[in-house]
Structure 1
């Protein structure tokens, strides 16, 4: 009896039904299902627009850029709205809007309808992560917040990986039935996840507390700078997704299939270690140091990857593997740093607007990274890698400096700890 109890109690939390029935567990479940659909959709949406809708590559690029800019601008206002009306309710509304916009893809037949639908879908998609973090922050307290947010990140990353495999299958089919089937399944699942959130407890809003106040985050200059520097570090996502593949294709003899292995390994490392690394970001001091080391490590990865252009054999593959390994550690550090700083430096009752603003920095990186990587790495060659390394160093050093400024100015002083 005792041994059976010991085995049962040794099971990880996610293997027990009670873990998922918690309020924050339901948020995890919604995030996991959403990420499955997201991974599948964003793996093949370019081919959907090119082959199914009939857009040209330039039209697709223009539409995605316009949608990305709108998503960048929507984060802050929608975050403030979430604080005012309720994070759970705003997240549910965004899920419905996003689900309906995805289902609308079944009816798009040209550039302008595709752009209109994509702008709505991307605006909801980019605003959702920040508001979801605000909801988790409202459901948890103190150090549990950072741990819960990092668990949610691991869940999301794992779901995207599995979803990407389904998206690859749709790409292999490359027909109307496959694309439209994915649209219907993804859109329906997004709305279904919004329904799951109804079972999450309501988090008191500003209206509930009868609090009237202006927008706070726009006056918080240290936090705005942290958002900017974190956005520079967030270019690491675009570096792996678009920069490294473009570099391999244009400047090396390395086969492109290697990128699939690297991206798969990156996702596995994030799923396994994101929560552990985030434990070092429970204080402003720890989170700021992670941000600094993230910039250093990402810069080192750029230097290693720059060396792959001078060799076409085993040395290039070893440098690529080393660069990718250093990159993923830098990514873990930057994400954890962002979790810790954005949570610790946010006043109670303002998580929606602060997380919405913080997410806008990362949205900017996602929007402009493909073009920036093309200019730096395709056109700039080896020199572009060193410019990018400098950008990461600015992001890391700037994060540490801005966090210290926040403490000196009285923002989050209680969260800074020498422990």
Structure 2
């Protein structure tokens, strides 16, 4: 993939632009579903909020089992075709929400959606790296993340129309629109050239696969998973903190999210430079940990100020947070790309997705207890966790690099990432909201 100057999220004509259009289409559906699904499930379907919460938790946990198997499949099949097939299946499952009329039916559909979304994360990483190539895969990841933020924002605006109407028909159109974006994205993906594997790796006859036995990779991947807890801060903890612990008006929650989205679009490509291989990517992760720690400390100070200074401090903290978020995304991605065994890249991506998924599963309960109940000391504790994780990542990466066997990329299919990065994964929805990070 050719590189292009500047920090524009719009790539030049070629495969990456095609993939960007597919991502934009898919994430418009993500925005529709994230913004409107809660009201659809409660006001239109008639489920209780507790039933929705329990069902989504069950779906998220069961969805994790698809990560490694689909990763292994991505090692043996063309990721372009496999992703398109999975997206068509996701379109069918998304549309089937129209048939939900009970808690049991909701859980079935939610679990199927989570399994497909989690499995597709591994396939997506293979496709992004095949399109980007060894020298452009991190930049491709960052580009697609910026595009995904545009798509999600546009979808959320469109969902607002359904929320204003607040009718069964409006919610049905929202669901069908979400399903349609999966199908259209699959059609766009199929416009890419195929990327068949040069040779299928031998599957392990028994026991764990190579990625699950790769302790250095799992250790480094765990640092990225720990830092990915920051996504829970933005989407769950910070809105609740603003409402319950600060003097800022509730509308500031929307301002924080808009600020994060705009900065991501503007800075994602620019901040992706210099993280193509493990050593510089580890340094980027160190910067990410320290920057995220600084953002947490700024947020800790918002509980004792009057409204005006609180608003200013929250926006400053959001800016610092977004820079740390973007550094974490590209640093984690660069590490996972460079540390993966090329012949088992899909399986490695599946393991990385499993680590991030576990962090996403425990994050809401953990951070709710730590921060919303612990107050300022909770923010300080989280800042310390981020800082220590970032500082230790380069040392752990040096150990991991020493265990790697050198490999030579092939022109037919370059090395593919094992996945990593932040909590805003490109183009995937679980039953309710976005899938756990990687971040595009």
Output the TM-score relative to the length of structure 2.
0.86
Corresponding position of 2:333: 339
> Which of residues 260, 265, 282 is equivalent to 2:259?
265
Corresponding position of 2:402: 408
Corresponding position of 2:184: 192
1:107 maps onto 2:99 in alignment: yes
1:212 maps onto 2:202 in alignment: yes
In structure 1, C-alpha distance between the alignment counterparts of 2:113 and 2:160, rounded to whole Å: 22
TM-fit CA distance, 1:23: 2.8
Alignment check: 8 A CA contact 1:41 1:186 kept: yes
Corresponding position of 1:4: none
RMSD: 2.3
In structure 1, C-alpha distance between the alignment counterparts of 2:115 and 2:367, rounded to whole Å: 23
1:248 maps onto 2:242 in alignment: yes
Pairing 1:69-148 to 2, within 5 Å after superposition:
69-148=61-140
Corresponding position of 1:238: 232
- Please give the secondary structure, in 1, of the residue aligned with 2:136: helix
- Please give the secondary structure, in 2, of the residue aligned with 1:143: coil
Corresponding position of 2:418: none
- Any idea what the Cα deviations from partners look like across 1:22-50, whole Å, max 9, x if unmatched? 23332222111000110111112111111
- Please give the secondary structure, in 1, of the residue aligned with 2:363: helix
- Any idea what the Cα deviations from partners look like across 1:132-185, whole Å, max 9, x if unmatched? 121121234221122122211211121111111112222222221111001112
Corresponding position of 1:225: 219
- Please give the secondary structure, in 2, of the residue aligned with 1:199: coil
In structure 1, C-alpha distance between the alignment counterparts of 2:233 and 2:194, rounded to whole Å: 38
- Any idea what the Cα deviations from partners look like across 1:184-206, whole Å, max 9, x if unmatched? 1211220222122222222123x
TM-fit CA distance, 1:14: 7.5
Alignment check: 8 A CA contact 1:229 1:394 kept: no
TM-fit CA distance, 1:210: 4.8
TM-fit CA distance, 1:243: 0.7
In structure 2, C-alpha distance between the alignment counterparts of 1:321 and 1:360, rounded to whole Å: 32
User: Relative to structure 1, is the Cα distance of residues 313 and 284 closer, same or farther in structure 2, using a 3 angstrom cutoff?
Assistant: same
Gaps of 5+ in 1: 1-8
TM-fit CA distance, 1:412: 6.7
In structure 2, C-alpha distance between the alignment counterparts of 1:139 and 1:122, rounded to whole Å: 26
- Please give the secondary structure, in 2, of the residue aligned with 1:31: helix
TM-fit CA distance, 1:277: 0.9
- Any idea what the Cα deviations from partners look like across 1:51-80, whole Å, max 9, x if unmatched? 112121211111111111122232222111
The structure that is helix-richer by fraction is: 1
In structure 1, C-alpha distance between the alignment counterparts of 2:122 and 2:266, rounded to whole Å: 22
In structure 1, C-alpha distance between the alignment counterparts of 2:344 and 2:187, rounded to whole Å: 25
- Any idea what the Cα deviations from partners look like across 1:228-285, whole Å, max 9, x if unmatched? 1111111111101111111111111211111111111111111111111111212211
- Please give the secondary structure, in 2, of the residue aligned with 1:282: coil
Corresponding position of 1:314: 308
Output the TM-score relative to the length of structure 1.
0.90
1:328 maps onto 2:318 in alignment: no
TM-fit CA distance, 1:89: 2.6
Alignment check: 8 A CA contact 2:226 2:389 kept: yes
Matched residue pairs, number?
402
> Which of residues 389, 395, 412 is equivalent to 2:383?
389
In structure 2, C-alpha distance between the alignment counterparts of 1:305 and 1:412, rounded to whole Å: 44
Alignment check: 8 A CA contact 1:30 1:196 kept: yes
1:157 maps onto 2:165 in alignment: no
Corresponding position of 1:3: none
